[in-house]
């Protein structure tokens, strides 16, 4: 097991913004409950602005992801602790929302499945585990690996990104310290895109599940959602590639068809039945009055884009 010396780790984290003391919350334990909540909320409101300042970098990450996924690649998030859980969460939400294969977007967390519901904090130091997990999944030049690490020094994440780069995969770092922070372990890390919003010290020193975690959630939402939009998973702002895997989603599918085709509830149900449950196919059938076979052919020719299949694309 690879572990850094205690003094080396101490030196690495001492200069990190995410490990600094927040002067605005120095007397937090003397505050009333409403005052505590207001202070936390005040700090939370600084996060979206920090993320907004990284939009150009996030856009480059999306372009990288879309390019690889469009050619048959996959997207992997790797992280430890809160960062890893957020990656797994984002990956898990893509199939029901965008109708993706579960293998298209995957989340890898240090410590494995157990770490999803119980802290396995020492797992973040097991650098060799990340390359092994990526090798097991056959990560290669077609894929993109997004490393999520609030501190920018997590050994598990850095080792995974280095392996990804060695095998030709696209690489993205999401960290809450500047890309070249003094003390960030592992020396200079070469990645295709670095997304590093500096959200400042946490309300409670070092508790990166708070502002840092919020920023990470926002960024992963942006990466996956914008990528799926660019891959034709959305019509307007409607999730027309959803999988009706629950009663709620089945009813949402009917509502989407009602909204886009202009039919009533029963008409939407009939179109979905005719389309084999596919919202996209039902929309094309209903709007163009074609057969299921022709609707599917149109969608295939349009690479899954409903707007193009309907002849509405003017770009």
Active site residues: 93, 124
**Could you tell me the two tokens for 156?**
């598990």
- Which residues touch 265 (CB under 8 Å, ≥6 apart)? 254, 258
The 10 Å CB-count burial string (b at 16+, else e) for 206-241 is bebbbbbbbbbbbbbebbbbbbbbbbbbbbeebbbb
- Which residues touch 108 (CB under 8 Å, ≥6 apart)? 76, 77, 78, 79, 84, 87, 88, 130, 133, 134, 137, 160
- Which residues touch 151 (CB under 8 Å, ≥6 apart)? 13, 16, 18, 19, 175, 176, 177, 184, 208
Helix and strand element counts for the chain (H, E): 14, 5
Nearest to 223 by CA among 245, 195, 197, 243: 195
Say how many Å lie between the first and final Cα of the chain, rounded. 54
């Amino acid at each position: 097991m690879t572990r850094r010396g205690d003094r080396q780790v101490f030196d690495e984290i001492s200069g990190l913004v995410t490990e600094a003391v927040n002067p605005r919350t120095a007397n937090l334990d003397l505050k009333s409950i409403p005052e505590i909540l207001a202070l936390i909320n005040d700090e939370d409101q600084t996060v979206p602005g920090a993320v907004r300042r990284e939009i150009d970098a996030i856009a480059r990450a999306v372009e990288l992801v879309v390019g690889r996924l469009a050619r048959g690649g996959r997207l992997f998030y790797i992280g430890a602790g809160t960062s890893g859980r957020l990656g797994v969460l984002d990956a898990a939400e893509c199939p029901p929302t965008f109708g993706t294969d579960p293998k298209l977007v995957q989340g890898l967390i240090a410590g494995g499945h157990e770490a999803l519901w119980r802290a396995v904090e020492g797992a973040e130091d097991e650098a060799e585990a990340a390359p092994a997990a990526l090798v097991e999944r056959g990560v290669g030049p077609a894929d993109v690996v997004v490393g999520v690490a609030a501190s920018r020094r997590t050994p598990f994440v850095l080792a995974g990104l280095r392996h990804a780069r060695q095998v030709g995969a696209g690489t993205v770092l999401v960290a809450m310290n500047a890309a070249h922070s003094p003390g960030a372990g592992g020396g200079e890390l070469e990645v295709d895109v670095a997304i590093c919003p500096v959200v400042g010290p946490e309300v409670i020193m070092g508790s990166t599940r708070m502002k840092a975690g919020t920023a990470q959630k926002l960024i992963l939402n942006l990466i996956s959602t914008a990528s799926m939009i660019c891959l034709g998973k959305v019509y307007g702002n409607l999730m027309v590639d959803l999988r009706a895997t629950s009663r709620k989603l089945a009813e949402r599918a009917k509502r989407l068809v009602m909204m886009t085709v202009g039919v009533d509830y029963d008409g939407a149900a009939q179109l979905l039945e005719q389309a084999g449950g596919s919202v996209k196919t039902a929309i094309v059938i209903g709007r163009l009055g074609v057969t299921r076979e022709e609707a599917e052919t149109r969608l295939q020719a349009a690479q899954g884009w409903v707007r193009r299949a309907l002849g509405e694309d003017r770009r």
